Amino acid sequence: MLKISVPATSANLGPGFDSIGLALDLQLTLTVIGPSQTWQVDHPFGQEVSNDANNLIVKTALSLVPDLTPQRIQVTSKIPLARGLGSSSTAIIAGLAMANELASAPVSKQALLLKATELEGHPDNVAPAILGGLVVATYVDQKVQAVQLPTPDLFASVYVPNEELLTSASRSALPATLPFKQAIAGSSIGNTLVAALAMKNWSLALALLEQDQFHEQYRAKLVPALALIRKMAHEMGLVGTYLSGAGPTIVTLGKQADLLKLQTKLQQNPALTGQYHLLPVDAQGVTVTKS
Annotated binding site for ATP: 80-90
Rounded distance, CA 267 to CA 159, Å?
10
Q: At what angle do helices 109-120 and 56-64 cross, to 10 degrees?
A: 130
Using CA atoms, how far apart are residues 203 and 70, in angstroms rounded to an integer?
50
Residue numbers belonging to the annotated binding site: 80-90
23 has which bridge partners?
9
> Which of 239, 140, 225 shows the shortest CA–CA distance to 216?
225
Q: How far from 30 is each of 40, 78, 142, 280, CA to CA, in Å?
A: 12, 12, 29, 21
Strand stretches in the chain, DSSP E: 2-11, 20-35, 40-42, 71-77, 134-140, 143-149, 155-160, 241-243, 250-254, 275-280, 287-290
